[in-house]
Amino acid sequence: MSSAELPPPDHASASESGEQPDSSWPAIDHERREWVPAAAMGVRAARAGRASVAYDASVPPMIASRHPVLLPEVAADADEAAAELARFDAELGSRVAGFAPVLLRSEAASSSQIENLTASARAIFSAELGAKGSRNAELIAANTRSLQAALDLAEQITPASIAAMHRVLMESQPRHTPGEYRREQNWIGTRGDSPVGAEFVPPHHERVAALINDLAEFAARWDVPSLTSVAIAHAQFETIHPYTDGNGRTGRALAQSMLRYRGVTRNVAVPVSAGLLADVDGYHSALTAYRAGDPNPIVRAFASAAFRAVSNSRELVSDIDTVRGSWNDRLTARRDSSAWRLLDIFASRPVLDSATAAGALGIAQPNVYPPLKALVDAGIVRSKAEHKLGPFWRSEEILEALDAFAARAGRRQRV
């Protein structure tokens, strides 16, 4: 049975499930571990005696059967935010095919920007076609593929589906063992040589598998309100930090998968990360509060992010509609020309090569050049040769709308 067929409502109570809710969410615990620096290994170290230092690693609580109890106003905001996400998703209706691609890439770009990976819309779409001009754009394109995998795998939330998201994200970086849990201690902070004094030290790698199994059980439940479940599962994932790299992007892909699993979004990936991007410091502070035993800030952060994302996405849809409408007046090709069908394709994929354009139209590649030329002649798209890849055609207007979306979602400046 798919998730969409499951009937339980968001507001099933703890008493209905036969379990009593916790009065407070448990904080992480800690355990003392020994860190052996790489420089302390080898022949010299064996002679001198192995040098090691003690540090405290986190021990996150198991949450599979726990019920979060939130402040009433936070719970209400989360419910309304989930409803707003669902409304926007439904609004697109039959137009989802046109907007799903740009919204998916907007989510990928925003999630990546939280990790300080930025690139223009043009660079991202070009990277998907094989352009090698921007390493950041290539990483964001990989994040797009990871998000698509998250949506494709949303019928079930399992350790295997989470691993698949990470595998797709990191497939070009084998040193980070895509889809495999880390086999070493990691940490968050400025020091690169030791977890001692780090801002946050995730659990020891021996604990990761059991913690992810537990997280997947929590994420698959239906008796916790949808956005509350998404926010807490995301925070727990970031606390576990199960991989050597890509944890933030994978954790936000998990959030999109859970929104689809719970039926909040059925058609598009609403770029919630764009909402989080507006207050990255607040997002990180909310994760810290979660680890201290207070889930309210992270649920509030996701609710606020959802409202901001929907507002920004509506503006993006309006901008693209305006551009697309103007093209009808500018194109003078015959009514039976494939150029007219190309307009909708460029509105959703503003950078194309001839093979992609021909495939989208279902015609032979040599036959796509005349309609592409018609769009160039009308000033709707431009053509430029890419190094070793031949010409790309791009709509500057749609790319500008996407970059404007990113600018609206950008980090707030500290004052």
Spatial neighbors of 360 by CB under 8 A, at least 6 apart, are: 342, 345, 349, 352
Q: How far is CA 19 from CA 12, 68, 217, 377, in A?
A: 12, 12, 16, 67
CATH architecture classification, 3-314? Orthogonal Bundle (1.10)
pLDDT per residue as tens digits for the range 285-320: 999 999 999 999 999 999 999 999 999 999 999 999
CATH number for domain 332-407, candidates 2.60.120.650, 3.30.70.3040, 1.10.10.10, 3.30.70.260: 1.10.10.10
Q: pLDDT value at position 94?
A: 84
Whole-number Å distance between alpha carbons of 334 and 90: 34
Packed helices 135-152 and 96-114: angle between N→C axes, nearest 10 degrees: 120
Paired with 392 in beta bridges are 353, 384
Packed helices 135-152 and 121-128: angle between N→C axes, nearest 10 degrees: 70
Of 110, 131, 144, give the one whose Cα is nearest residue 352: 131
Paired with 280 in beta bridges are none
Q: pLDDT value at position 189?
A: 84
Q: pLDDT value at position 3?
A: 38
pLDDT per residue as tens digits for the range 257-286: 999 999 999 999 999 999 999 999 999 999
CB count in 10 Å sphere of residue 381: 25
**Segments making up each domain of the chain, as ranges:** 3-314, 332-407
Do 227 and 256 touch, CB atoms closer than 8 A?
A: no
pLDDT per residue as tens digits for the range 377-411: 999 999 998 867 889 999 999 999 999 999 999 85
Q: Give mean pLDDT, residues 229-252.
A: 97
Q: Note whether 3-314 and 332-407 share their fold.
A: no
Q: Give mean pLDDT, residues 42-46.
A: 44
Continuous H helices in 94-203 = 96-114, 121-128, 135-152, 159-169
pLDDT per residue as tens digits for the range 328-367: 999 999 999 999 999 999 999 999 999 999 999 999 999 9
Whole-number Å distance between alpha carbons of 51 and 405: 51
197: left (phi over 0), alpha (psi -120 to 50) or beta: left
In terms of C-beta density within 10 A (0-12 exposed, 13-18 middle, 19 or more buried), how is residue 81 classed? Answer: buried
Do 362 and 111 touch, CB atoms closer than 8 A?
A: no
Residue 324 has pLDDT above 60, yes or no: yes
Backbone angles phi, psi at 382, to 5 degrees: -120, 155
Q: pLDDT value at position 39?
A: 53
Backbone angles phi, psi at 384, to 5 degrees: -150, 135
pLDDT per residue as tens digits for the range 60-70: 999 999 999 99
pLDDT per residue as tens digits for the range 122-181: 999 999 999 988 899 999 999 999 999 999 999 999 999 999 999 999 999 999 999 999
Q: pLDDT value at position 316?
A: 97
pTM of whole model > 0.85? yes
